[in-house]
Structure 1
Amino acid sequence: MPNQPIGFQHGITLNQARQVVDAALAEGRRLGLAPLTVVVLDAAGQLKAMLKEDGCSLLRPAIAQGKAFGAMGLGFGGRELARRAQAMQGFMNAFSDLAGGSAVPVPGGVLVRSSDGTIFGAVGVSGDASDKDELAAVAGIEAAGLVADTGDSA
């Protein structure tokens, strides 16, 4: 009998999640961004990793998690969620209610995909302007050898 449960597929590995977080924070420093919080969710939408730089405000972890959670909830990167929030306000209000208010439909929530397109999880970054947060998330995902899906076509 194995010492650990088998058969669970969580997508992004702990090692990959650590690479994402470290590289995203490094990109934030390279770009001179405000202090960032980076959250990585696995394929089940569960928290895999989170780091908050010194100087982050109180709600940055919740916002970063909400960006990632929103992307996982509908299967679209934050840019597509933002477009849908503008175009389909009623639907997005219902989505927010179903998500318990935890979904943040803006850039900075990025799906993590394998090379074959399988969703491995999502990354949320918060601390600076959403477009800048997204740059850090993408850098982190790519540094881990994975594919970033922002919700825009490549």
Structure 2
Amino acid sequence: MITLDQAKVMIDVARKTGREMGLKPLSVVVLDAGGHLLAFEREDGASPGRFEIARGKAYGAVMLGMPGSAQMARAEGQAYFMAAVNGAFGGKVVPVPGGVLVMQGDAVVGAVGVTGDTSENDAAAAVAGIEAAGFAAKA
């Protein structure tokens, strides 16, 4: 289980990492294992639509049990599958890197979604936040 305090650490460190890397303004969301919102922050200068993108990255990761990088590969190889998945989940899945699983041992306990820069940079910021909160990240 991810506590609110741990979710805040994930967000703070992801944002700090983004600033250290010189990234564009980030938006960061943390979801629990059921896909429910625990915390969200949007940096100054980030567009308002970034919440839905960050949530979609994290939501796809937690609901499918696979990080955004694996979802993107699946979408490239089997576009019909990801289209069907997105239909099943009401269009809430954004299958690109930046949706990172939060792991406790072998169990998925949630996901972090980061958006604002390139998908690979978003994922790196998410991993830093997850690890700073004491969890393993699966990007």
Which TM class, normalised by the smaller chain length?
over 0.9
Deviation of 1:86 after TM superposition, in Å, equals 0.6
1:134-149 pair list within 5 angstroms: 134-149=123-138
Aligned to 2:44: 54
2:73 aligned partner: 83
Q: Structure 2 length normalisation: TM-score?
A: 0.98
Structure 1 length as normaliser, TM-score?
0.89
Measure, in 1, the Cα distance between the counterparts of 2:80 and 2:56.
19
Q: What amino acid maps onto 1:125 in structure 2?
A: V
Residue in structure 1 matched with residue 22 of structure 2 by the alignment: 32
1:13 corresponds to which of 3, 16, 33: 3
Offset at 1:56? Answer: 0.4
**1:117, distance to aligned residue in structure 2 (A):** 1.7
- The list of structure 1 runs, each at least 4 consecutive aligned residues, that deviate by more than 4 angstroms after superposition, is none
Segments of 5+ residues of structure 1 without an aligned counterpart are 1-10
Give 2:96's aligned amino acid. Answer: V
**Residue 121 of structure 2 is aligned with which of 105, 110, 132?**
132
* 1:58 CA displacement: 2.1
Aligned positions of 1:104-143 closer than 5 A: 104-114=94-104, 116-143=105-132
Conservation of the 8 A alpha-carbon contact between 2:103 and 2:110: yes
Distance in 2 separating the partners of 1:121 and 1:134: 15
Distance 2:121 2:63 in 1: 22
Q: CA deviation at 1:44?
A: 1.2
Q: Deviations over 1:86-115 (max 9, x none)?
A: 11111111001011111000000000001x
How far apart in 1 are the matches of 2:83 and 2:68?
16
Q: How far apart in 1 are the matches of 2:108 and 2:65?
A: 8
Q: For residue 41 of structure 1, what is the aligned residue in structure 2?
A: 31
- Find the counterpart in structure 2 of residue 95 from structure 1: 85
Identity of aligned residues (%): 53
**Cα offset for 1:51?**
0.4
* Aligned residue identity for 2:48: L
Q: By percentage of residues, which structure has more helix?
A: 2
The amino acid that maps onto 2:69 is R
